[in-house]
Structures are given as structure tokens and as C-alpha cells.
Structure 1
Amino acid sequence: EDIEKYDELHSKLNSLKGDFVVLSGKKPNETVNEFKLKLINKLLAQINGLIGAFKPEEDFEVFDLDSLPTNSDVLMMLNLYLNGMSRFKDANSTVHSSPIDWSSEFKTKTWDVED
């Protein structure tokens, strides 16, 4: 269940990041409107609930609606959250090695599903 939630949230976060790469490239210091910020905050709250201690900043939960951030501020936090999600996945994955023909090993990571 957490794996499916992770995949969904990671996909949404990547999509938002792509949008903010464009917005930040055009107008980095323009403030984000409330509609977008509410959607971003909803996503970040869901991610916080999933990754817990792997949140990128201990004292950051969501953006303040009274003090609208800029496009570049949002992009920075989205990047930090993508990093936090990667750390969460790594901490909950196992490395598997498979020998291949040319005498080296191919390593893959899979989710730990035992609990």
C-alpha cells in the first residue's frame, strides 16, 4: 500500500517539479498563486505523512498561504522533497546482486515488503 502511495506521490511531485522548472526559468521571482499553493501544500502534507523522518527540513511542513513563495522557492523545496523521497525509498529497499556473463555483478534495488 505504501509502495503504491509512494509511486503516486513521486509521480505527482515530478510533474509539479517540471511545471516549476518552466515557471522558474521564465519568472523566478514571481509569487505563486493561492490555488497552486493549496495543491502543492496538499501534496507535501501527504508526502510528509509517508516519508516521516526523511522530510528534507525538520521545521518545514507546508508553505504559508499568508506569505506566498516565489516560483524559485517552490522549485527548491520540490527538489528537496524529491531527494527526501529517494532517501526514504533507499532506506526501505534491499540491494540484490545478479551475476552476468562478463564476470561482474548487476545490482538492483527492490522495496522491502516484510513487516
Structure 2
Amino acid sequence: MRNKFISLKAVGAFSALSFAALPALAAPVSGFEALYDAVLTNCTPPAGTPAACEAAINAYSSALVSAGVDPVVALQSFTELRSEVAAAGGGDTIEALFEQLLPESGAVGGVQASPV
């Protein structure tokens, strides 16, 4: 239940953003590279599983929110991370998980999660 709260908190923090306003930035937020790499590892084969991916996404988003990272910067990082995960073979299940937790980060490959 706590993971769902953290995910919803992150989604709420990023929901007012528009992709048109996103600046060109490096994918990992400076100082949070290890958490970014953990998401990449836990969301792609061979180590990636939906549960591990969700936990890693929640840890990264929670850390960014707690540190007061600009929501535009955080969203850009998640957008690039989502694309990187897809390119590394994350698969439809992981893409659906990103869509559920961070729909503002942009669907990759047309997978849409069902509404909760």
C-alpha cells in the first residue's frame, strides 16, 4: 500500500507538466544516478521483474520528490528512463507498469494500462 501511495504522490507531483515545456537534460538527475541505474536494472532482462521494477521506480521518484527536484527535471528523467528501459527490452508488462505509475512520462510502443 505504501508503494501505491509513493507512486500516486509522484504522479501528482508531475501531472501538471507539459512535454512542450521540457528542456533538454541528461537522463539521470545529478546525484541520483544509482537510483536511475537501479530502475534500469530492475526493469529490464534478465534481472527485471514487475515487483522489482515498481519498487525501483518508487524509490527513485520518492527520492526526487523528497529532495525537492524540479518536477520538470524529474519528469524528463523518467521520460528518458522509460525509453531506455523499452530499448533494453523491458517488454509490455514493464511498459504497462510505467504507464500505470508515471503516465506523464509518455507511452513507448503504444501500451496503455487500464484505468484503476
Does the alignment reach a TM-score above 0.5? no
Give the TM-score normalised by the residue count of structure 2.
0.29
Higher relative helix content: 2
Q: Select the structure with the greater relative contact order (CA < 8 A; seq sep ≥ 6).
A: 2
Higher relative strand content: 1
Give the TM-score normalised by the residue count of structure 1.
0.30
